[in-house]
Structure 1
């Protein structure tokens, strides 16, 4: 039989966007100082963090120009990734909530999602050495929303093609200073325990949509 021309289309994609921001060294030095001073003054709140320090969610009020700078870029990305039901560009009014995370040795974040938001994301201030040494862990992991996939029946197989490699498991993003990424807020995610001896510092945020947008 002649080779069949099979039409293959990847349905139900999950959009994740990433960009490395310029001027990261100067920005991150300022952000690290600001966040670590805040950590000395205020105790951690308990959210998804398993250990580590989680700031209050009002960093937009005390974070200054550098936090505003990152969030402005992130809102622009969120707008580019959002369309109306006809596929036309949309320009929602974003309601922003943001906070800082500091993870030390053994700290991570348990699997969770972000109710009440449309887009969520993270900006890395300090990776604690994770980018250079994979053994340090600390990866941001997103779990496959398709569930267990073919592993339900035949765990030795996967879907063909690049987008099938992680089916039934997850995809990770390794922290890197200056890296900003966004993902849908409903996507289950976690932070693997950090095994380094320094500090892993990040800025996290949620973008909800204002009523009437």
Structure 2
């Protein structure tokens, strides 16, 4: 503030430290993660099932940059193991929604689900999933990514708020837990048995896998079944 001579007064650092500042994080983006139990045996069967399908069925071209992307019908051929994962994902999706009054609600979800197999150098370009509310991933085989960060293969989510501080002062960040990622992105490192969901409008990509094995995952979209109303509960 200016003093009587019009000059600006600077608060001393110790005075700044005593200010009681109320900060509220606005517009948070929910990302829900669950490490599924008993995943080792399930994943061994899923891995074999997915690789058998890959050997007999051409890849769909979607966001995949290389690699193999199945049709969106793994619920039909993935067996009990795939459908167990998808049912658990459906439960997470339901638990993570409410009506506009904050009351629990049980939407009747429509679903698409598929498998991805990425080999050396394969990834997925930036994209989002129109026509869905929740999207998600389940890791069957991480290709060693969990133990070696040099192998890449991370799932990366881009800040939906835009460039943030990077537009003007890239060297600055907002103080607080998530300030460093403002205007950039956050990553999830693959780990077998990890299931996570994110809003379908969230821009995301998969960084190229640099290992010499196979990185295998399931992916899915949950939209609203337009033929029936949601059940309140």
TMscore range, shorter length? over 0.9
Counterpart selection for 1:52 from 61, 64, 67: 67
Check if 1:33 corresponds to 2:66: no
| Corresponding position of 2:25 | 10
Distance 2:178 2:94 in 1: 25
| Paired residue total | 213
Is the partner of 1:73 in helix, strand or coil?
Answer: helix
Distance 2:158 2:30 in 1: 13
Deviation at 1:204, TM superposition (A): 0.3
Check if 1:127 corresponds to 2:142: yes
| Corresponding position of 1:204 | 219
Distance 2:61 2:22 in 1: 48
Distance 1:86 1:54 in 2: 39
Distance 2:99 2:196 in 1: 22
Distance 1:92 1:164 in 2: 34
Is the partner of 2:140 in helix, strand or coil?
Answer: strand
Is the partner of 2:178 in helix, strand or coil?
Answer: helix
Deviation at 1:24, TM superposition (A): 1.0
TM-score, scaled to structure 1? 0.98
TM-score, scaled to structure 2? 0.90
Is the partner of 2:186 in helix, strand or coil?
Answer: strand
CA RMSD of aligned residues (A): 0.9
Distance 1:28 1:206 in 2: 20
Per mean C-alpha deviation after superposition, the further-off stretch among 98-107 and 164-173 is: 164-173
Distance 2:207 2:171 in 1: 25
Distance 1:136 1:172 in 2: 14
Distance 2:129 2:163 in 1: 22
Runs of 4+ in 1 over 2 A off after TM superposition: 1-4
Is the partner of 1:70 in helix, strand or coil?
Answer: helix
Distance 2:149 2:20 in 1: 41
Counterpart selection for 1:180 from 195, 200, 203: 195
Structure 2, unpaired ranges of 5+: 1-14
Distance 1:5 1:83 in 2: 34
Counterpart selection for 1:109 from 119, 124, 131: 124
Is the partner of 2:58 in helix, strand or coil?
Answer: coil
Deviation at 1:6, TM superposition (A): 1.4
Structure 1, unpaired ranges of 5+: none
Within-5 A mapping of 1:151-166 = 151-166=166-181
Deviation at 1:163, TM superposition (A): 1.7
Distance 1:112 1:203 in 2: 17
Is the partner of 1:37 in helix, strand or coil?
Answer: helix
Deviation at 1:112, TM superposition (A): 0.2
Deviation at 1:80, TM superposition (A): 0.9
Distance 2:80 2:59 in 1: 23
